[in-house]
Each structure stands twice: as C-alpha cells, then as structure tokens.
Structure 1
C-alpha cells in the first residue's frame, strides 16, 4: 500500500497535463516500507531526458543523484518514482518492466486518457522481475 497525499497527487497530475504529449517523471520521497505501507511526503520533479520522451521516460543520472541528496538532507527515504502515460493506461508497459531497477519501490503511473493514477511495486525476487499492483490511499 502507498499513502499518496491529495496535494502530491494533484501536483503530479498537473505536471502530466502540462507536459503532455511527452511523459513526465520524478522521484517520490517519504517513509519507505518494503513490504508494508509506504508514505509519500513529497515529490521531486525531474527532466525527462529519454530519446523518445513521448513514449519513454528517463531521469538524468546527475539530477537523480541531486534529488537523492535532497531527500537525505530532509530526512526522507526514496519511496519510489512516478511518470505519466499521456495516451496509455496507468499500468506498467513492457518497457517500464524491462527498465525497472529499484526492488520493492513504488512506481506511480499517471494516465491522461483515461485520467487515472495507478501504483505498482517492482518485485525483483523472481528471475524476470514483475510488478505487483498496490493500493493507493489518501492521507
């Protein structure tokens, strides 16, 4: 389960609308629980540096490191990541699964058509890895 405050959800949705038709992305900070209830406290927008930003996302490694340092300075943990699917469902694509690298972290996906937010945890314990849907609750 992931606790995603309304204010954070609204901020991510607004970024997704403004960034369309390209995917937007960022990092979620807060309290991380590998098998329990993670709580998002903040979101850190990042630039999408993918070669094809309309269908892929990639956070610049240097910017990601800067965000991680800000999280640590604020006493937060990496809860997970978020990105948008401007014209797709709020579930991981095959590319999302192939590029997932943070075990047990949440991957929040915002869909604009239809307007919906989904969250998934990356479980890497199997040989090919897989996403498990997780429940989103407001705080």
Structure 2
C-alpha cells in the first residue's frame, strides 16, 4: 500500500499536465515499511533526460544521487518513484519493467489519456527477472 498525501498527488498531476507531451519523473521520500505499507512525506521532482522523453523517462544519475542525499539529510527513506504517461497506458510499460531496479519500492504512474493514477511494487526474482504487482494508493 502506498499512502500519498493529497497535496503531493495534486502537485504531481499538475506537473504531469504542465509537462505534456513529455513524461515527468521524480522520487518519493518518506517511510518505507517492510510490512508492505509505504508512507510518502515528500516528493522530489527530477528532470527527464531520456533520449525520447515523450515515451520514456530517465533521471540523470547525478541528480538522482543528489536527491538521495537530500532524503538522507532529512531522515527520509526512498519510498519509490513516479512518472507520467501523457498518452497512456495507465500501467507500467515493458520499458518501465526493464528499467525497474528498486525491489519492493513503489512506482506510481500518472496516465493523462485516459486519466488514471496507479501504483505498482517492483518484485525482483531469483532468476534476475522481476515483475510489477499492483498496489493500493490511499490518500491520507
């Protein structure tokens, strides 16, 4: 379960709409609980540096490291990541699965057409593959 404050949800949706037709992306900070519940306390927008930003997202590794250091300085944990799909689909793509690297963390997607917000946990497997599992998003 991903617990998301409404003001953070609204900020991400607004940014996704303003960023259209490019995908937007960022990192969630907060409290990661091994019980399966993650509480978002902050979001850190990042620049999308993908070669094809209309259909892919990529956070610059140096910017990602800076975000991780800010999280640590604030006593937060990496809860997960978010990005938008300006023209759908409202679920992770094959590219999203191929680039997922943080086991048990949330990957929230804002789809604009059709409008839908969903979140998935990345589950790594012993064979080196993995899969996304849909999770509940609770506004709190």
**TM-score, length basis structure 2:** 0.97
User: What's the CA shift for 1:126?
Assistant: 4.7
User: What's the CA shift for 1:80?
Assistant: 0.3
Q: Aligned with 1:68: secondary structure?
A: helix
| Alignment match, 1:21 | 21
Q: Distance in 2 between matches of 1:22 and 1:129?
A: 27
**1:16-69: per-residue Cα shift (whole Å, max 9, x none)?**
001000000000000012342100001000000000000000000000000001
Cα-Cα RMSD:
0.9
**Structure 2: runs of 5 or more not aligned:** none
**1:45-103: per-residue Cα shift (whole Å, max 9, x none)?**
00000000000000000000000011011110000000000001221000000110001
| Alignment match, 2:135 | 134
Runs of 4+ in 1 over 4 A off after TM superposition: none
**Structure 1: runs of 5 or more not aligned:** none
Q: Note if contact 1:34-1:105 (Cα within 8 Å) is conserved in structure 2.
A: no
**TM-score, length basis structure 1:** 0.97
| Alignment match, 2:38 | 38
| Alignment match, 2:83 | 83
- Residue correspondence of structure 1 range 84-103 to structure 2 within 5 A: 84-103=84-103
